[in-house]
Amino acid sequence: MSWWLLHVDMDQFIAAVEIRRRPELRGLPVVVGGSGDPTQPRQVVATASYEARSFGVHSGMPVRAAYKKCPDAVFLPTDPAAYDAASAEVMDTLRSFPVVVEVWGWDECFVGAETDDPESLAAELRAAVGSRTGLTCCVGIGDNKTRAKLATGFAKEERSHAEPFEGAGPATGIYRLTAANWREVMDHRPVRDLWGIGPRMERNLNELAVTTVAELAAADLDVLKKRFGPKMGTWYAALGRGLGDTEVTDVPREPVSRSHEETFPEDLADRAGVERELRRIALEVTREVVAEGRTIQRVSVKVRFINFYTPIKSRKLKSPTQDPDVIATTALSILEKFDLNRPIRLLGVRVEFVQPVPERAAE
């Protein structure tokens, strides 16, 4: 049997959880975000049902903007506890199979399995999740995580340029992408379609005359390294060829940082007010992580101005600490690096942890 990677991605997860406990909402445009009150400022859409998406509503947009696009939608507040519980149901369902499940978030995970028929396994996983939780998912199949993740996007499409596997029709919810069909499926696509390449990186690559996946795969490695550094340049070159990690682990990831950020109902224009709010946020996040026994080695401050320009600056501490006052003072000193020449809509503080020394290294 062969080792396969399956990427399981839940459909409109947060909206689906809300619809599951309110069946009367099925078929209606549903928008989840903030307090659920679209008249309140500075709230962001967490997710939207497919019906709401047809009106142009999408996650990350202001709830007020969503209301303008779809005033007849049902607006609901976010309920993280409910999403935690629903996610646990899904992951426990997957773990009931002889597979390894690596959780990546509420609504997605990688599944590693030894099988000669990954499509049948994917179909069994989808059926089990549907019958036990009432939620639906799509599954991408790949010979590594990169290809499995991208395959899920094709699994969600109603119709594709290539069949996911022999004998399968469109809209199956399952798609296979491997070395065998990588070039046929991906070569002509823009680099933006690759996992991990956003608009800014797309512009950077375009400046090097790299616009398609095929061009990225054929790009001069030395040119990529010079532009993006040895590590990232090599990674982008590998990404263009669809290379990626094949290991799946069920060991929970050790968190490396924690952040708190807050969007204010009214813009902060007074420096004293900015400093007061930043200190409060820094103290809150520090007390939270220290209560978990963690020690901090680096502090970052995020500022979003009214024009949505969002610089982030950081500083490594002279010595690791668990002292909230030290973190707050450091955050305020980092604030001095910013040009506070316009009102501020959001402040955030991120703290990075000292990582435990592996047992072998400690011996």
What whole-number distance in Å separates Cα of residue 97 and Cα of residue 83?
A: 22
* For residues 40-52, average pLDDT: 89
* For residues 95-112, average pLDDT: 95
In the DSSP assignment, the letter for residue 229 is -
Please give the model's pTM, rounded to 2 decimal places.
Answer: 0.78
Express each pLDDT in 301-356 by its tens digit: 999 999 889 999 999 999 999 999 999 999 999 999 999 999 999 999 999 999 77
pLDDT higher than 60, residue 167: no
Q: What angle do CA 301, 307, 312 make, to 5 degrees?
A: 20
As annotated, the active-site residues are 108
At residue 358, the pLDDT reads: 53
At residue 34, the pLDDT reads: 87
Tokens coding 359 = 């047992």
In the DSSP assignment, the letter for residue 112 is E
Tokens coding 245 = 């990690």
Express each pLDDT in 230-257 by its tens digit: 999 999 999 999 999 999 988 877 778 9
For the chain, the residue count is 363
